[in-house]
Amino acid sequence: MQEFLQQLVGGLAIGGIFASLALALVLIYNAMGLVNFAQGEMAMLATFVAYALINRGMSYWIALPVTLVLAFGGGIVIQRVVIRPVEKAPILTLVIITLGLATLLNGLAGFIFGYVPRSFPSAFSAQTIDLLGVFISYRDLGVIGVSGLVLLAVYLLLQHTTVGLTLRAAAHHPEASRLLGVQVSWMLALGWGLAAAVGAVSGIMVAPILLLEPNMMQSIIIYAFAAAVLGGIESPIGAVVGGLIVGVTVNLAGAYLPFVGGDLQLAVGLAIIIVVLIIRPNGLFGRAAARRV
Amino acid sequence: MALLELEEVRAGYGPTSVLHGISLEVPDGGVVSLLGANGAGKTTTLRAITGGVRWTGDIRFRGRSLRRMATEEIVRRGIAHVPEGRGICTELTVDENLRLGSHLRRDAPEVKKDYDRVFEYFPVLKQRRRLSASTLSGGEQQMLALARAFLMRPTLMLLDEPSLGLAPIIVRSIFEIIRSINETSQVAVLLVEQNARIALDLSMTAYVLEVGRVAVHGAAAELRSDDSVRRSYLGY
């Protein structure tokens, strides 16, 4: 039982990381019906920025917000420079552009920082505390706490501010929003900035576990896809719940299914995507895809 | 100088031209109807005004040309456009839809008064504030669209077929409220309608469009009493 609970908490911690990246995917999907395949690489690059800042002597807790602000700005720049000129192109064109962007960012990181894995500091010690007989590491608790705070901040922004309201309106009803004076094009840029910042959190949280290198996010993005699909690709809350479920499932499968172990965990993530798409294509929180025409 | 002036406006979608030179005026605080059959160009005229379709000629609002102006910019100058289909954000709650109407305003005390007015006009919206706008009936959605436009505190409202698909009794009450908004807040209205009878009752002047041109225009009372106009253009 103790062992199980420990795996559960570990799963929630990794799940919080998946949830952040999945939320980033959902933010952009909502804004323009596009799955951003470059989301993981954007997060990786942001993590390198945090690494560079910390390496130059900045404290972790200052480097983190500074990185998020830079990622936010970077997301806006990417939307303005790369996405906006082709905004009205067919969705397949946009998908290919995000794939190209992913390759570009990956190469850029490799060019600047090299491919040697680097250890990335964690703000939390690897020591464990004894909670009613269950040993939980500060690191897991810290990751859960930081992810939770970020998700809460995004929720409050979207649901309880005017900017969040116009962001949601622009995403779902661009034409009607324009007639209400909402600057839809800037709202898209804001969505990209927000997604980049939220995704950056996942990169910074996962780097101490995986070691930082340009391909670091390539497995994480698969889990994030699984989480977003499971939650219903349009639902921010779905992304969070999906992230936690995927994290726990993958962790438990790795611990208790001997044939999965550490090697086949990614296959579990892919299996979740396939099973959800077959059984419940709208995910847990998605609405039926049927639309009035 | 009229509040809104259209001068020889031509517009269309791609190679199809829909408006072949429309000229019309809406005076300050006036109610003007735009009548005509399906496909005459009524909706396109409204879309041209708020920049939803490319046009040539000239459109001036308070004397300033709206040429090459983005929709958001035009709207911020004081034109509220309730589009065909009402433009309700069905993903949002009733309250959130209303807040989108007032989100650019900085005069908080006045906004509060306007909310009170809105809930006086449409008590049902107050009851349903927390509900998703998608749960509203057609008539309630039309009320929401009108309320939201009112909260923008515009100087001109463009209303695209507010009667469409609604029961006669609801149409009558909605038109009463449009009249009241016009009279008490001096909001000018450019009203597109298929229901000529009820539109003419409300308006001072009317323009009848026929395949992208103004066929007849004049005082609403005159058009109403002219049998030949009524039979050939208004269909009642």
Which residue ranges form the domains of chain B, and what is each CATH number?
4-88+154-234 (3.40.50.300)
- Exposure string for A261-279, b = 16+ CB within 10 A, e = fewer: eeebbbebbeebbeebeee
The pTM of this model reads: 0.86
CA of A185: how far to CAs of A59, A175, A189, B41, in Å?
36, 11, 7, 28
Residue spans of the domains in chain A: they are 2-279
Is pLDDT above 80 for A48? yes
Q: Each residue of B58-85: pLDDT tens digit?
A: 999 999 999 999 999 999 999 999 998 8
- Give the residues across from B188 on adjacent strands: B156
Option in A165, A177, A178 nearest B99 (CB):
A165
Is pLDDT above 90 for B14? no
- The CATH code of the domain at A2-279 is 1.10.3470
In the prediction, which pLDDT does B44 show?
Answer: 95
State percent of chain B over pLDDT 70: 99
B138 touches A at CB < 8 Å: no
CB-CB under 8 Å, B100 with A182? yes
A257 or A47, higher pLDDT:
A47
Nearest chain A residue to B46 by CA: give it.
Answer: A179
Question: Which residue's structure tokens are 């996405």?
Answer: A83
Instruction: Work out the minimum CA distance from A168 to partner chain B, whole angstroms.
Output: 8
Is pLDDT above 80 for A293? no
> Residues of chain A whose C-beta is under 8 A from some C-beta in B?
162, 165-166, 168-169, 172-173, 175-184
Is pLDDT above 60 for A289? no
In the prediction, which pLDDT does A133 show?
Answer: 78
Rounded CA-CA distance A260/A266 in Å is: 9
In the prediction, which pLDDT does A136 show?
Answer: 86
- Exposure string for B17-56, b = 16+ CB within 10 A, e = fewer: ebbebbebbbeebbbbbbbbeeebbbbbbbbbbbbbbebe
Rounded CA-CA distance A158/B145 in Å is: 23
State percent of chain A over pLDDT 90: 68
In the prediction, which pLDDT does A292 show?
Answer: 42
CB-based contact B170:B198 (threshold 8 Å): no
Question: What one-letter code names the amino acid at A218?
Answer: Q
Is pLDDT above 60 for A290? no
Alpha helix ranges (H) inside A257-290: 265-279
In the prediction, which pLDDT does A280 show?
Answer: 86
A10 or B79, higher pLDDT:
B79
Is pLDDT above 70 for B56? yes
In the prediction, which pLDDT does A200 show?
Answer: 96
Q: Which helix (H) or strand (E) holds B138?
A: helix B138-151
Write B62-67 long-range contacts (CB < 8 A, 24+).
B62/B3, B62/B155, B63/B1
Interface probe with B: pick from A177, A178, A180, most Cβ of B within 10 Å: A180
What's the mean pLDDT when you consider all of chain B? 93
In the prediction, which pLDDT does B236 show?
Answer: 67
Nearest chain A residue to B84 by CA: give it.
Answer: A176
In the prediction, which pLDDT does A288 show?
Answer: 57
A275 or A38, higher pLDDT:
A38
Is pLDDT above 50 for A230? yes
State percent of chain A over pLDDT 70: 97
Specify the range with the lowest mean pLDDT, choosing from A85-89, A110-114, A143-147, A257-261: A257-261
